[in-house]
Structure 1
Amino acid sequence: MTRTNIPLRIGGRPVAARLRAGAPKLTREVLARLRAELPAYAALPAEELAGDIAEITQHTLRVFADVVEGRLAVGDVDLAPQRASAAQRAEEGVPLDAILTAYQIGVEMCWRETVDRARPEELTDVLALFAELLQLQRALVGAVAAAYLDARRFLDEPGRGGRAALLGALLAGEPAAAITGRTGLRPAARYLVLTLALAAHPDEARPGPCAAIAARRKLRRLRQALDPHTVEPMLTSLDPDGGLALLPIGAAAPGWPDVRALIAHAAHEADTPITAAAALAEPAGVPDVVERNAEVLRLVRGGGRGPGLYLFTDVLLDYQLSRPSAALPGLAELLTPLDHKPELLLTLETYLTHGRDRRATAATLHLHPNTVDYRIRRVTTLTGLSPNRVTDLHQLNAALVARRSLGVGDAGA
């Protein structure tokens, strides 16, 4: 922005100060009109209207306040949030005409808000304000339309198809040279392979188009959280329930605490719990790693563990005991006395999941801690095994894994 003149005053008060003071109220009024007049905006999830759309409305009002306060010209940097918002709406399928109409509604309401107390002697400032508003509208329309169309071109670009072909070739185990010859893309030297399970966002349960919009928004935010951590465009096959993400990495492999923090960040940005299995793989090893990651996720979720990042080393016992073995039936039979007492099985597994913390177990199951103690004593009486004896603890864990592997009873929270 470049300063050109003195601030404008209307109604005896600087226009910029009035705009800033009235921004929250004007934002609510703009959102109400968007919902009432534009079906595309009425279909958006309430969280998005109150979040992203409200935020971009207030930002536009602040930009206009800066314009009229210092008689400034709008630059590209000032409209970066509007361009980003337009790209997001393009990904969500909101029509371009609805977006441009939304900005026109905002400009119109901003005009009415600033001139409703104009005095006859302020005509010069009113005309100057009108000229500034037209300049802002022209800049907004150009920036928003260009960003929207760029986003649509990106969504439809042939390169995305090429990356999909590259991912398919890696999953099929094709040699690197054959992949490059067929797709024109060279595989990375190594990948961080993430297998993701995504919980549903509450907005996905709403009827109508809100569910699909919420699902697309969740995936967009997930990709935005992961993408800055790759040296090349990542390869993904994702749907609202989860899927695969292959992140090309450089010579230095990321530390697992950093990957754990990345998954936590992605869950925060997507506003949904994420359970992930991760491993490093060279191109030739991708199929095996993907298969093993899927097994890790199965064991983690089957064992009632919470969201977060899991490695193969986190489930070594479960993995080994879930392999076909003559010992599995015998291990599973250790808990046969609990077959008709699902409340005891549930309490036992929850108790072990929480590291034998009776209070955490009670809170999870909505029980009194004394009830947990009673049930654990009953488990010991019926099975002869106590989770509070080290030797028995290993056997109980193994028995629960064996039951899950064999599909016996109701073992598992």
Structure 2
Amino acid sequence: MGVLRSTLRAWAEAMAWHYAREIPDYARLDRALLQRDVAVVSYEYLLALEGEAEARVENVALAVGQRRQRQGISLPALLRAYRLWAKDALEALRSEAPGHLAELAPKVAEILDRVSEASARGYQLALEGVLPQGPLTGLAVGLKHAQTIALAPRYLGLPPERMAYHQAPFGPLLFLAAPLAEVEEGLKALARGCAACLWVAEGANLLELQGDLEEALALGHGLDLPPGVYPVRLLWPLAMALESPKGRDRLLRLLAPLGPHPELLGTLEAYLQARLSLKGAARRLGLHPNTVLYRLHRVEELTGLRLQRVEDLCLASMALQVRRLMGGPR
């Protein structure tokens, strides 16, 4: 079965579009969400045929039930999608591994029963909409990496009863009944495993967390940040700057002298992304560290910034973010 991994993944993607063709509820899902979330879930269930994902398949299915309810998928539509999954899985085995069909067909039926039952319970949990009392951690990811939320149960080690899903306009949100310290390492592993940018917030008020996370998705999608876990508070100064036309114009004016020198803008951005490491910026740009240092001196000469000062570094970072969001060239 190991040789079928690539084939199973291709079939999982095909299953996602099969759902859209056959089930109106799925056809209404955002295209990126359908392609990534649904395909990843289908693949997780296919891996369970090999026994690899068997231990976690019910937790994944519970979380799926919560998400589908929040996405407006009816429970009958979800259960019908599972039946289509089983039909497509058997067709894939019949086509690609006929010698394994007799062995694996009963297992397909067993997994169908398990995930259908678990997702129905998850669907009911979402309808109740209750998380245990205590500290909450929220995370958000853009639609481009919607599969990250689908894979969260694999990394976080929390029971589905401590997780609640919400579909926001710019991407899915996941709320965890746990302090950030308890799940932070799992979130970092999740971000690395999915090469995704995760926005996180911690607090006790679900509505406040939701507002902060949705704002982070709206602002952060244009920043092209490297994969990682980012607190939403990093975007608060940017949000304030964008709300003030005067503040926005001042930040853009700060970088205006660099307009004719895109290589200087790129060097400044690489330096900030490398956390003020000359060697890190040089690796990103394919340059010698001395070249990076020379360019940074030119940035200081042209803008008046002093990159040794924390205040000026903050201004430079905000100005670059505003410039990116306002549609300026990289």
CA displacement, residues 198-225 of structure 1 (integer Å, 9 cap, x when unaligned) = 655xxxxxxxxxxxxxx87x65433443
> Could you tell me which residue of structure 1 aligns to residue 173 of structure 2?
244
Q: C-alpha offsets along residues 375-408 of structure 1, whole Å, 9 cap, x if unaligned?
A: 2232223223232455643443444355456x26
User: Alpha-carbon deviation of 1:304?
Assistant: 4.4
3-state SS, counterpart of residue 232 of structure 1: helix
Q: Is structure 2 residue 223 aligned with structure 1 residue 289? A: no
Structure 2 counterparts to residues 202-281 of structure 1, below 5 A: 220-226=150-156, 228-230=157-159, 232=161, 234-237=163-166, 242-247=171-176, 249=177, 253-254=178-179, 256-267=180-191, 271-281=193-203
Alignment of 1:89-104 (within 5 A): 93-95=85-87, 97-98=90-91
| Aligned positions of 1:2-401 closer than 5 A | 31=4, 43=11, 81=54, 93-95=85-87, 97-98=90-91, 105-106=99-100, 144-155=108-119, 157=120, 159-166=121-128, 186-190=130-134, 191-197=136-142, 220-226=150-156, 228-230=157-159, 232=161, 234-237=163-166, 242-247=171-176, 249=177, 253-254=178-179, 256-267=180-191, 271-282=193-204, 285-300=205-220, 302-324=222-244, 326-389=246-309, 392-401=312-321
**1:83/1:143 contact within 8 Å kept:** no
User: Structure 1 or 2: larger helix share?
Assistant: 2
Say if 2:167 and 2:173, in contact at 8 Å, map to a contact too. Answer: yes
Match of 1:10 in 2: none
In the TM superposition, residue 103 of structure 1 has moved relative to its aligned partner by: 8.4
State the Cα distance separating 1:146 from its structure 2 match: 2.8
Alignment partners' CA distance in 2, 1:106 and 1:52 = 17
Q: Contact (CA 8 Å) 1:199, 1:272: kept in 2 or not?
A: no
Deviation at 1:243, TM superposition (A): 0.7
Whole-Å separation in 2 of the counterparts to 1:300 and 1:80: 33
Q: Which has the higher mean CA deviation after the structures are superposed, 315-324 or 328-337? A: 315-324
**Number of residue pairs the alignment of both structures matches:** 278
Q: What is the CA RMSD across the aligned residues, in angstroms? A: 4.6
Residue type of the partner of 1:352? L
TM-score, normalised via structure 2 length: 0.63
Partners in 1 of 2:185 and 2:171 — Cα distance?
18
Q: 1:383 to 1:94 in 2, by over 3 A?
A: same
State the distance in 2 between where 1:90 and 1:225 align. 24
CA distance 1:277–1:142, change in 2 (3 Å)? same
Residue by residue over 1:267-286, the C-alpha shift from the partner in whole angstroms, topping out at 9 and shown as x without a partner, is: 45xx412222222444xx32
Q: 1:106 to 1:230 in 2, by over 3 A?
A: closer
Instruction: Give the superposition deviation at 1:355.
Output: 2.8
Q: Percent identity?
A: 25
Question: What amino acid is aligned across from residue 260 of structure 1 in structure 2?
Answer: E
Structure 1 CA distance, aligned partners of 2:186 and 2:285? 30
CA contact (8 A) 1:195 1:290 kept: no
CA distance in 1, matches of 2:327, 2:272: 19
Shift of 1:91: 8.9
Structure 1, unaligned stretches of length 5 or more? Answer: 1-25, 60-78, 109-136, 168-185, 201-214
Q: Give the drift of 1:148.
A: 1.9
